[in-house]
């Protein structure tokens, strides 16, 4: 009887162990499941803080980049407010070219070149340096050309009367801005002359080539009865 009783108690103990352990595991899993939202909330909170910090750094970097861009954009610039027509040059036709210079240094001036075959300084070689007014504007007469170049130059710059190549930036030339003449290009009228089996165009507009003012007239060019130049 005693042996049966002790055996029964041991079996009950073993039975309790067999069945209580699974019950304890279920409770533990339920507890872990209850804690999961808390863990997620804490992780989300840390992620939100990290995301907020990254966003703040990004905004700061963009702000610094914007400041640097604004500083980089403070260089000089030339804007045209009046552009003469695109036309073949000549001494008898002039117009006005005007504009505004931004961020020029004290003492700097503007030089204008008109392109018609050659780049010609405007309006004349002895009046080539154009002052920048207190409101940052400039204006001058110019002979016509197909393109116009405005040069922002330092005080030591000495403009040449003509340039064979397009003006470029460098040295005392701080900035070069080139614009095409307005409207459809206009070519000077020419006279016609047949000579030596060819058709010749006779210039009809004035020029100062050779150091003197030449008034070209088609009536001054002709051929005799034998089609020889007169």
pLDDT digits (tens, 9 = 90+) for 181-194: 999 998 866 667 77
Output the six-digit token pair for 32. 């872990």
Tokens of 80: 């045209």
Strand partners, 113: 121, 149
Tell me if 86 is assigned to some domain. Answer: yes
**Lowest pLDDT segment from 9-13, 70-74, 220-224:** 9-13
Domain span at residue 22 reads: 1-74
In a domain, 227, yes or no: no
The model's pTM is 0.58
- The residue written with tokens 């304890």 in the block is 24
Residues 125 and 155 in one domain: yes
As for how many domains the chain has, the answer is: 3
pLDDT in tens, 88-130: 877 778 999 999 999 999 999 999 999 998 999 999 999 999 9
Pair 25, 107 in one domain: no
Shared domain for 66 and 97, answered yes or no, is: no
- Give one word for 134, left, alpha or beta, with left for phi > 0 and alpha for psi -120 to 50: alpha
State whether 172 and 202 are in the same domain. Answer: no
Same domain, 136 and 213: no
Question: Is 124 part of any domain?
Answer: yes
In this prediction, residue 10 carries a pLDDT of 40
112, 210 Cβ separation under 8 angstroms: no
Instruction: Kindly state whether residues 45 and 91 are assigned to the same domain.
Output: no
Residue 214 covered by a domain: yes
pLDDT at residue 73 tops 90: no
């Amino acid at each position: 009887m005693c042996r049966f009783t002790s055996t029964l108690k041991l079996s009950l103990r073993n039975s309790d162990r067999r069945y209580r352990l699974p019950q304890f595991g279920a409770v533990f899993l339920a507890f872990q499941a209850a804690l999961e939202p808390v863990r997620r909330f804490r992780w989300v909170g840390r992620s939100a803080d990290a995301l907020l910090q990254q966003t703040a750094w990004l905004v700061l970097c963009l702000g610094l980049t914007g400041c640097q861009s604004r500083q980089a954009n403070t260089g000089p610039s030339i804007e045209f407010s009046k552009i003469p027509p695109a036309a073949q040059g000549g001494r008898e036709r002039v117009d006005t070219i005007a504009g505004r210079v931004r961020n020029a240094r004290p003492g700097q001036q503007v030089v204008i070149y008109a392109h018609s075959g050659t780049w010609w300084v405007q309006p004349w070689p002895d009046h080539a340096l154009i002052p920048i007014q207190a409101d940052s504007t400039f204006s001058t007469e110019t002979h016509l050309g197909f393109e116009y170049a405005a040069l922002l130059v330092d005080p030591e710059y000495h403009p040449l009367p003509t340039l064979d190549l397009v003006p470029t930036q460098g040295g005392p030339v701080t900035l070069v801005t080139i614009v095409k003449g307005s409207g459809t290009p206009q070519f000077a009228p020419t006279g016609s002359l047949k000579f030596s089996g060819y058709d010749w165009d006779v210039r009809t507009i004035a020029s100062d080539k050779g150091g003197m003012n030449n008034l070209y007239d088609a009536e001054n060019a002709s051929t005799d009865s034998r089609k020889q130049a007169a």
